[in-house]
Amino acid sequence: MPDAATEPAKRGRPRRGPDPERFREIVDAAAEVFLEKGYSATSIQDISDRVGILKGSLYHYVRSKEDFLYRIIKDVYDEAIDDIRKIGEGEQEPLARLAAFIRAHVRFAAAHLTAYTIQLREFEQLSAERREEIRQGGETYVEALQAILEDGQAAGLVDASLQVRLASIIITGELNSMTRWYSPKGSLEPDQLADVYVGMVLTSVASEAAVTKAGGVEALRTEFALGQG
């Protein structure tokens, strides 16, 4: 019986595939360009120029331009799903959970600004199959938000007359719209922005009881603020 330890690894293929760090570097370059020019208006040449290699060389890493978009969106989408799952673990009170949700969302968008913005803007450019595949992933922000608002209504803390589905869509749009102007280079920290969002969103849905409990709208508007950033 041959000694397994001295026997060479099965002919040929360890086949590691491309270096994951280099791959990340390249996908990040693609994301930057997509953000600046838009996916469709970006050429493979634009990406390779940014990386500093020839355009043909990119096909070591992907099979098509769409693969770049897919990678960017898939990754941020998966992280977003994780993010949504973590929200509310711990927080019991609906308004506190709502505040936590908003803060988490703002932090997430700020932390993954490029990729998250691309996801919002360019999702429809993916092939139908890939859109479908990605959507299977899990609960969306809208759905999570809706659940919180429903809990809030049950607890009498969210205006009972609110159409929660519609409100969830509106609030999600409100939060997502930060990707249209927010820049990490500015002086506004994510938590400061979150404070503003939390204050505005909470008062926009709070019930009479919730306002009273907080000691008025203005009090409610700062109740969940982290304060000075």
Partner DNA sequence: AATGAATGAGTTTTCATTCAT
Partner DNA sequence: AATGAATGAAAACTCATTCAT
User: Among 1, 7, 8, 12, which residue interacts with DNA (rule: CB under 7 A)?
Assistant: 12
Which of its own copies, DNA, none interacts with 82 (beta carbon under 5 to 8 A by kind)?
none
Looking at beta carbons only, is 86 or 168 nearer to its own copies?
168
Are 178 and 189 within 8 A, CB to CB? Answer: no
Count Cβ atoms within 10 A of the Cβ of residue 134 and give its class: 0-12 exposed, 13-18 middle, 19 or more buried. Answer: middle
CB of 34 to DNA, least distance (A): 11
User: Among 32, 147, 170, 213, which residue interacts with its own copies (rule: CB under 8 A)?
Assistant: 170
CA–CA separation, 195 vs 20, rounded Å?
37
Classify 189 as helix, strand or coil.
coil
**Residue 14 interacts with DNA (CB under 7 A): yes or no:** yes
Could you say which residues in the range 21-40 bind DNA, by CB under 7 A? 22
- Checking phi first, is residue 47 left (phi over 0); if not, alpha (psi -120 to 50) or beta? alpha
Residue type, 208: E
**Residue 13 interacts with its own copies (CB under 8 A): yes or no:** yes
Name residue, tokens 């993010």.
83
Give the binding range for its own copies (CB under 8 A) out of 46-54, 69-77, 79-87, 101-109: 46-54
**Residue 55 interacts with DNA (CB under 7 A): yes or no:** yes
User: Among 12, 14, 56, 90, which residue interacts with its own copies (rule: CB under 8 A)?
Assistant: 12
> How many residues belong to the site for DNA (CB under 7 A)?
26
Count Cβ atoms within 10 A of the Cβ of residue 45 and give its class: 0-12 exposed, 13-18 middle, 19 or more buried. Answer: exposed
User: Among 28, 32, 44, 96, which residue interacts with DNA (rule: CB under 7 A)?
Assistant: 44
What are the residues facing 206 on neighbouring strands?
158
CA–CA separation, 218 vs 204, rounded Å?
12
- Checking phi first, is residue 162 left (phi over 0); if not, alpha (psi -120 to 50) or beta? beta
Query: CA torsion sign, 124 to 126 to 131 to 134?
Result: negative
Residues that bind its own copies (CB under 8 A): 11-13, 15, 38-41, 52-54, 121, 124-125, 159, 161, 163, 166-167, 169-174, 176-178, 180-181, 188, 193, 196-197, 199-201, 203-208, 211, 216-218, 221-222
Contacts to DNA by CB under 7 A: 11-19, 22, 42-45, 53-57, 59-61, 63-66
